[in-house]
Amino acid sequence: MNLLGNIIWLVFGGLLVFIEYMVAGFVMCITIIGIPFGLQCFKIGMLSLFPFGKDVRDVPTSGGFLTTVFNVIWIVIGGIWIALTHLFFGVLLAVTIIGLPFARQHFKLMSLSFTPFGKEVV
């Protein structure tokens, strides 16, 4: 079932979202300061390519204060808008019964894209 969901996700926008995250990650990695943020874009992009069958969890040994600072910077710079976009598409898909599994994936992406530091994709 995960394979079918991933194929449908990929055809109906998952590939485009993956490419957007990868381009943003490469652009952020141009500067040394942007490398941690670019790596988070790569993490979100890999999840957005095949989200079915994967889970987002908190890392038990996260960076503490530095993780919090990076998450705040991420939210201020653009994480809020990315999360709101996933929320919008999740709610839009949840209205239909057929779109419920895809809405769950958008909500999973929303939680990761709002605060990506200190989280891992399993």
pLDDT in tens, the chain (122 residues): 899 999 999 998 889 999 999 999 999 999 999 999 999 999 999 999 999 999 999 888 767 889 999 999 999 998 999 999 999 999 999 999 899 999 999 999 999 999 999 999 99
- Helix 35-49, helix 15-28: angle, nearest 10: 170
For 76, 88, 92, 113, 114, the CA distances from 71, given in Å and listed in that order, are 9, 21, 27, 10, 8
Residue 119's H or E segment, with its range, is: strand 119-121
Quickly tell me which residue has 């990315």 as its tokens.
82
SS3 96: coil
Q: Which long-range contacts (CB under 8 A, 24 or more apart) does 40-44 make?
A: 40/74, 40/116, 40/117, 43/112, 43/116, 43/121, 44/109, 44/112, 44/113, 44/116
- Other residues' Cβ atoms within 10 Å of the Cβ of residue 107: 18
Closest CA to 115 of 60, 30, 45, 56: 56
